[in-house]
Chains A and B, each alone.
Chain A
């Protein structure tokens, strides 16, 4: 019997680290073969994993010159 989508997406997450049993891994492959939405989910989930660590790119927030000067002073005081 095919596992549910809820179970399949759970195992996808688990497969990133814990490793699945051979049986779980086969079941998951079969599920994704039969179920397009879950296959898409898996692909998109991997994209999220890949890009998440680049979260600090394209940030508009900036330190002002004054704040940087304060930091410099603190470094000098503690040196």
Chain B
């Protein structure tokens, strides 16, 4: 029953909640956008970490190690979503989502011309607004686009692994990530830049 059961040197589970729970939770919320699920994932991370404590070799810090466990749990949820949604989304992705942005010759439609802006995160308020908008825009993507974008740019996975997790071909992947980027950039321009 006592904490001292965890013998792994370099780990102090009795301080995990105080030291890491908040940051783990924010990380999880930003990835799964559901607080309850995020809480469960963090809790699950602690339990898995305890089970694997004997394997902790101190090659990374305790914090990095906990975050890598959390990250794996988040990727598990992505994978589960990808499986669950496979059939229904495949059909909707078949329509040419790029047609919203380009005319038949592949040029920008007039109302979709990218404007000249950049991101200057000079103040805390600006930064906060920017990330809020970015999260809102990410939430608006189709589920499959969001999953692919999150694996690539939030978790830093490479395309080969993403294709494996999602059960898609490389050409599917490039189409999805291209569409995700088109939609995300457009949404940022509309909601953050031209506000």
Q: Please give the residue numbers on chain A whose beta carbons come within 8 Å of chain B beta carbons, in ascending order.
A: 4-7, 9-10, 13-14, 17-18, 36-38, 40-41, 43-45, 47-49, 51-59, 61-63, 67-68, 70-72, 74-79
Q: Roughly how many angstroms separate A55 CA and B27 CA in the complex, as a whole number? A: 8
Chain B residues with Cβ under 8 A from A77's Cβ? 1
Looking at the assembled complex, report how far the CB atom of A56 sits from the nearest CB atom of chain B, in whole angstroms: 4
Chain B residues with Cβ under 8 A from A55's Cβ? 30-31, 131, 134-135, 138, 154
Asked if B6 is an interface residue, CB under 8 A from chain A, the answer is: yes
Looking at the assembled complex, report how far the CB atom of A51 sits from the nearest CB atom of chain B, in whole angstroms: 7
B106–A56 touching, CB < 8 Å: no
Give which listed residue, A43, A51, A75, contacts B130 with CB less than 8 A: A51
B17–A68 touching, CB < 8 Å: yes
Which of B55-63, B75-83, B85-93, B177-185 has 4 or more CB atoms under 8 Å from chain A? B177-185
Q: Roughly how many angstroms separate A40 CA and B115 CA in the complex, as a whole number? A: 7
Given contacts A18-B174, A45-B185, A55-B30, 17 further A-B contacts (CB under 8 A): A9-B178, A9-B182, A37-B108, A40-B116, A41-B185, A44-B114, A44-B117, A51-B119, A51-B130, A51-B131, A51-B134, A55-B31, A58-B124, A75-B13, A75-B14, A76-B1, A78-B47
